[in-house]
């Protein structure tokens, strides 16, 4: 039986969610059903997936450039977010001025940003947060998006890691989907090792935030995700948090450390997708991803994703000295107003369906993870050796 989360003088409760972007008249309503859950953490983390700015020029490399008022960031602070990653493919949607506007306003509202810096060394440097007498370090990086946003030796920007991708023909059958191989470049791997070693020297616990993977498709993991997560853990990470895919991905474990490959959408307002993306771009997602493409869905004006993308989680991770992290998930469903809300165990049908989906995506991704129910939460842990 997996042990439940426990408080202690040397433990920290980390609450983590996936993609967050508020673009509505009353942004605080986004968290109307999850306020108490977010506030339960000693540290609450999310991925800030978008640009908050006014009167900027869109990055021409972006398929869909999303923007909202900087005033909406106050709702993130009121909801209890302490740390947010800005190392993602939408922080530069509206150019460098938009990127600066977003980072500056998050920091002014008291939210620590990670994955951005005055140069490449600063962007990859850990930020440290104190909680319960412990120091928790965060390191963030993105593998997704325009290199226009990347920090360099003499330019500010986000922490970007380069991935090499190869496509191999299968079955001598022209036109068939290729076998895809992907790995970090040597220089990127060296950067990861240095960053997490630095973080481990300065903190009791180290959290990795990676914007990575293949979006829209359920379950599937890019090859480099597994090797990158293990590399980070080998050099000091205690937890790996993944996001970008806009759909839940599985939880893996390595050396007792959890790897949450994809936390999914959380409060992510993508309004009028056909207006912010060209018809050709929308059509391209349908051609590639079929029903999992990004296009308007009837009854869900801010959620242009497949119905499986409406399933999301709040991750509760207990960090304690001398023991491996313990992970529980609050299952949530995103409603027609784009608001995440918990699925209580008393709604046995919905809770069971959510559990079944989690087990399915773990099986499809070949993740050997035990999944079970504990009250209104779902626990995940590495299966014991020899356990069926």
pLDDT digits (tens, 9 = 90+) for 96-135: 999 999 999 999 999 999 999 999 999 999 999 999 999 9
Confidence of residue 2 (pLDDT cuts 50, 70, 90): very low
In this structure, is residue 112 part of a structural domain?
Answer: yes
In this structure, is residue 57 part of a structural domain?
Answer: yes
In this structure, is residue 3 part of a structural domain?
Answer: no
- Above 90 in pLDDT, residue 384? no
- Above 60 in pLDDT, residue 6? no
What's the mean pLDDT when you consider all of the chain? Answer: 94
Lowest-pLDDT choice from 61-65, 86-90, 188-192, 364-368: 61-65
Backbone torsion region of residue 172, taken as left when φ is above 0, otherwise alpha when ψ lies between -120 and 50, otherwise beta: left
In this structure, is residue 139 part of a structural domain?
Answer: yes
The pLDDT score that the predictor gives to residue 12 is: 98
The pLDDT score that the predictor gives to residue 3 is: 46
Confidence of residue 58 (pLDDT cuts 50, 70, 90): confident
Q: Which is more confident, 42 or 4?
A: 42
Angle at the Cα of 355 (from 353 to 356), degrees rounded to 5? 65
- Domain range for 17: 11-382
In this structure, is residue 4 part of a structural domain?
Answer: no
- Above 70 in pLDDT, residue 383? yes
Q: What is the pLDDT of residues 26-45, one digit of tens each?
A: 999 999 999 999 999 999 99
CATH classification at residue 34 = 3.60.21.10
In this structure, is residue 108 part of a structural domain?
Answer: yes
Q: Which is more confident, 279 or 75?
A: 75
- Above 90 in pLDDT, residue 193? yes
List CB contacts of 5: < 8 A, sequence separation 6 or more: 13, 316, 318, 326, 328
- Above 90 in pLDDT, residue 371? yes
- Above 70 in pLDDT, residue 386? no
- Above 90 in pLDDT, residue 53? yes
The pLDDT score that the predictor gives to residue 1 is: 34
Give the C-alpha separation, 237 to 164, whole Å: 23
Confidence of residue 159 (pLDDT cuts 50, 70, 90): very high
Give the C-alpha separation, 160 to 99, whole Å: 15
In this structure, is residue 2 part of a structural domain?
Answer: no
The pLDDT score that the predictor gives to residue 332 is: 99
Q: Which is more confident, 234 or 272?
A: 234
In this structure, is residue 119 part of a structural domain?
Answer: yes
Q: What is the pLDDT of residues 257-301, one digit of tens each?
A: 999 999 999 999 999 898 888 888 899 999 999 999 999 999 999
Give me the number of domains the chain comprises: 1
Q: Which is more confident, 3 or 100?
A: 100
The pLDDT score that the predictor gives to residue 387 is: 53
């Amino acid at each position: 039986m997996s042990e439940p989360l426990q408080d202690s003088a040397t433990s920290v409760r980390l609450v983590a969610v996936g993609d967050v972007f508020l673009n509505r008249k009353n942004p605080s309503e986004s968290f109307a059903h999850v306020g108490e859950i977010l506030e339960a953490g000693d540290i609450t983390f999310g991925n800030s997936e978008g640009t908050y700015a006014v009167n900027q020029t869109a990055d021409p490399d972006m398929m869909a450039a999303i923007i909202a008022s900087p005033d909406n960031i106050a709702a993130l602070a009121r909801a209890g977010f302490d740390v947010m990653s800005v190392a993602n493919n939408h922080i530069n949607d509206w150019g460098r001025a938009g990127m600066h506007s977003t980072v500056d306003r998050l920091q002014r509202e008291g939210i620590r940003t990670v994955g951005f810096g005055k140069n490449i060394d600063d962007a990859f440097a850990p930020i440290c947060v104190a909680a319960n007498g412990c120091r928790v370090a965060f390191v963030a990086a993105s593998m997704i998006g325009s290199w226009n946003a990347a920090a360099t030796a003499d330019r500010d920007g986000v922490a970007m890691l380069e991935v090499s991708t190869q496509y191999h023909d299968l079955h001598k059958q022209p036109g068939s989907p290729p076998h895809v191989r992907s790995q970090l470049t040597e220089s990127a791997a060296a950067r990861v090792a240095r960053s997490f070693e630095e973080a481990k020297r300065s903190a009791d616990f180290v959290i990795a935030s990676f914007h990575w993977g293949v979006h829209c498709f359920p379950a599937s993991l890019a090859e480099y995700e597994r090797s990158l997560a293990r590399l980070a853990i080998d050099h000091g990470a205690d937890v790996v948090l993944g996001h970008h895919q806009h759909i839940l991905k599985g939880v893996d474990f390595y050396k007792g450390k959890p790897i949450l490959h994809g936390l999914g959408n959380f409060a992510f307002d993508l309004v009028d997708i056909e207006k912010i993306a060209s018809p050709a771009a929308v059509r391209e997602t349908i051609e590639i991803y079929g029903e999992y493409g990004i296009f308007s869905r009837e009854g869900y004006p801010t959620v242009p994703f497949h119905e499986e993308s409406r399933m999301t989680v709040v991750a509760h991770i207990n960090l304690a000295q001398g023991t491996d992290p313990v992970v529980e998930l609050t299952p949530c469903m995103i409603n027609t107003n784009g608001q995440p809300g918990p699925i209580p165990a008393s709604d046995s049908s919905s809770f069971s369906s959510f559990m079944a989906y989690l087990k399915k995506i773990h099986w499809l991704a070949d993740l050997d993870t035990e999944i079970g129910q504990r009250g209104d939460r779902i626990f995940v842990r590495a299966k014991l050796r020899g356990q069926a």
